[in-house]
Amino acid sequence: MLRPAYTPEQETGIQIQRFADDYFDLILEQGSDGKARAFHLCYNLITDEHALAWTKEGPLRHMKVDQGEDKATINRAPILVADGACPIETLTQEFKKRAGNLPPETQALILSKIRAACD
């Protein structure tokens, strides 16, 4: 179940909330009006991490997370790289199962973006 996670205070008029569990990591950005402006939904965190990235102003992107850790002696920062296939059934089922703590309008927005990204 997605639960609120620590999010540092912001002084920009933009509220950032983070929710996490063992499969998803959701970072949600809301404007001062409380409406979603952007989100990153990272999924399959343990074995093959991917992310859906959406902003109000830009395109919806489905990305793979490259951990940058191909050598044990070098610590590189993770980056997002283009990736094709999006598992719509798995994502939809897992999100519905785990999103009970999120507001209904947030659930609806993210489910609509999952469908759009994976079609």
Q: What gap in Å lies between CA 118 and CA 110, rounded to an integer?
A: 12
Q: What gap in Å lies between CA 21 and CA 14, rounded to an integer?
A: 24
Is pLDDT at 68 greater than 90 in this prediction? no
pLDDT of residue 82: 73
Structure confidence at residue 75 as a pLDDT band (50, 70, 90): low
Residue found by looking up tokens 């994502």 in the block? 91
Q: Rounded to two decimals, what is the model's pTM?
A: 0.78
Question: For 84-96, what is each residue's pLDDT tens digit?
Answer: 678 889 999 999 9
Is pLDDT at 24 greater than 70 in this prediction? yes
Give the pLDDT mean for 42-70.
82
Nearest CA-CA partner of 1 in 89, 99, 106, 102: 99
Give the pLDDT mean for 89-108.
93
Q: How many domains does the chain have?
A: 1
Q: Which two tokens stand for residue 44?
A: 């399959």
Is pLDDT at 99 greater than 90 in this prediction? yes
Higher pLDDT, 111 or 64: 111
Q: Which two tokens stand for residue 15?
A: 């509220």
- Domain hosting 24: range is 3-118
3-class DSSP assignment, residue 34: coil
pLDDT of residue 41: 93
pLDDT of residue 98: 95
